[in-house]
Each structure stands twice: as C-alpha cells, then as structure tokens.
Amino acid sequence: MKGPIPATFVGGTPNPLLRRRNPLPEVIFLGRSNVGKSSLINCLLNQKKLARTSSTPGKTRQFFFYQVEERLLFVDPPGYGYAQVAQTERTRWIRELDRYLRKAEMLLGVVLVMDMRHAPLPIDLEMAQWLAESKIAAVYALTKSDKLTRSKRAEALARAKRDLTFADSGAITPFSAQTREGRDEVWQTIESWLQKSA
Ligand code: GTP
Ligand code: MG
C-alpha cells in the first residue's frame, strides 16, 4: 500500500447550506447509516482514521468535509434512513440533502454506498433514480464484500445490478475497506469525473 494521500479535516456542520463556499469540486458519499461510508473514505485516502467511523449507527448528524490534496473535497454526510429515526425526520433529512445537492455548485458526483450483505433498500433505489433523473454522476459501492463467500458475493452483485435499474451496471462495484477491493475502481471513476469537468 502506498502512503496516505494528503487530506485534511476541514470541518463539520449540521447545516451544510450555511457552509462557507469552497472552490473545490466535491464528491459526496451517500448511504444508509453504518454501511461503511467513513471507512470507504479512509480506504480511498489510505488513512486509518481521518473520517470518523463508529459502531453506533446514526450517532453523527453532521456533514463532515475533507480536503484531498489541493484538488477535491470529500463530503461525509450523516447516514440516511436509519431505523430509529421517525419517518418525518427522514423525510426532512432527504429534503435537506436534496437541497444541498441541487445547490452544490461544484458537485462532481456521488458515491452511493450500500452494504453488500443486504438487497438495496427502497431508499437506495429512490436515491439512484433521483440521481439519474437529476443527471448527477454516480458510482455504486457494495461494501463489506469481505464478509461474503464467493457465491453469495456473485449473487449479491447480480441482485444489485438487477435492482438498481437506474444505474449503469458498470458503475456498480463490490468494495471492502478490509481487502481494499474496489478501491481502484472508485478512484478511476472519480478521476474520470475530474477529467470531464476540467
Ligand atoms: P455512519 O457514519 O454512522 O452513517 O456510518 P458509516 O456508513 O460511516 O459506517 P462506518 O464506516 O462507520 O462503518 C460502520 C461499521 O462497519 C464499522 O464497525 C466498520 O469497521 C465496519 N465496516 C465498514 N466497512 C467495512 C468493510 O469493508 N468490511 C468490514 N468487514 N467491515 C466494515
Ligand atoms: Mg460515518
């Protein structure tokens, strides 16, 4: 493994719309709580604990911002749709996120993160549809692939490709923060977004 990619914690805020403008292109990591968003960010950056990970889902209700070298901003928002939160709260959260994504001037794309052990949830499918309709570039990471046997893994990948009808099937990749599977694929996608936006 190469050394850590230089990245710094810029700050956290519960209200990202009030954030000071940042001139860097952003990549936002969306997904249900506890699927491994922060671990995926750390893996991409070859960092151990830059992005806070936790075993208590839904603890963080903030958007965290990480600057990557001089060229990117990674956004780690709170996980959506965790079970303990009331539907009204969830609806409010989705609306907030929607407003944020529409306002993000420099949004390069979204990494939609799902736990490979489970079928995509209705909220994931809704997000995928919304991203496609909004013409926002997206890559789909199926995390914790290390926890599946070969056959379960193949089954889960096929299921995700079938269920995520709005996704380009080439944009769906198994991922593991432990084995680092999928890391290169996600980086390649982010680099291709950067090239297109240049
Ligand atoms: P919230 O910030 O609460 O929304 O969670 P998150 O999506 O950022 O998940 P986080 O990265 O904190 O990971 C949640 C738990 O899953 C932690 O205990 C991680 O160690 C574990 N985990 C994350 N990714 C992987 C993976 O690829 N493989 C395995 N085996 N465990 C993982
Ligand atoms: Mg997290």
Name the residue ranges covered by the structural domains of the chain.
7-197
pLDDT at residue 55, as a whole number = 62
Contacts of 120 (CB under 8 A, 6+ apart): 114, 128, 159, 160, 163, 164
Residue type, 124: D
| Span 7-197 CATH architecture | 3-Layer(aba) Sandwich (3.40)
pLDDT for the residue 195: 94
Rounded CA-CA distance 108/46 in Å is 21
Q: What phi, psi does 142 have (nearest 5°)? A: -100, 100
CA of 113, closest atom in ligand 1: 7
Residue 26: the pLDDT is 93
CA of 9 from ligand 1 middle (Å) equals: 19
Tens-digit pLDDT profile for residues 56-103: 655 557 888 999 999 999 999 888 765 556 677 767 777 777 888 877
Q: How many C-beta atoms lie closer than 10 Å to residue 150's C-beta?
A: 7
- pTM of the predicted model, to two decimals? 0.92
Q: Which residue's CA is the closest to the ligand 1 atom numbered 18?
A: 55
HSE (CB half, 13 Å, CA atoms) of 78? 23
Q: Which value, to the nearest 10 degrees, does the dihedral of the CA atoms of residues 93, 99, 102, 107 take?
A: -50
- CB 26, CB 72: distance < 8 Å: yes
Point out the ligand 1 atom lying closest to the alpha carbon of residue 79. 4
Q: Which residue has the tokens 């680092």?
A: 180
What distance in angstroms lies between residue 34's CA and the mean position of ligand 1's atoms?
A: 5
Residue with CA nearest ligand 1 atom 26: 144
pLDDT number for residue 20: 64
CA 108-112-114 angle, 5° bins = 165
pLDDT value at residue 69: 95
Biggest CA–CA distance in the chain, Å, is: 47
pLDDT < 50 positions in the chain = none
Q: What is the pLDDT of residue 154?
A: 97
Atom of ligand 1 nearest to the CA of 55: 18
What residues are in contact with ligand 1 under a 6 Å CB criterion?
A: 31, 33-39, 53-55, 57-60, 78-79, 143-144, 146-147, 176-178
Could you tell me where the beta strands, DSSP code E, fall in 94-156?
A: 107-115, 138-143
Instruction: Give CA separation, 10 vs 21, 36, 104, 106, 182, in Å.
Output: 12, 20, 17, 16, 26
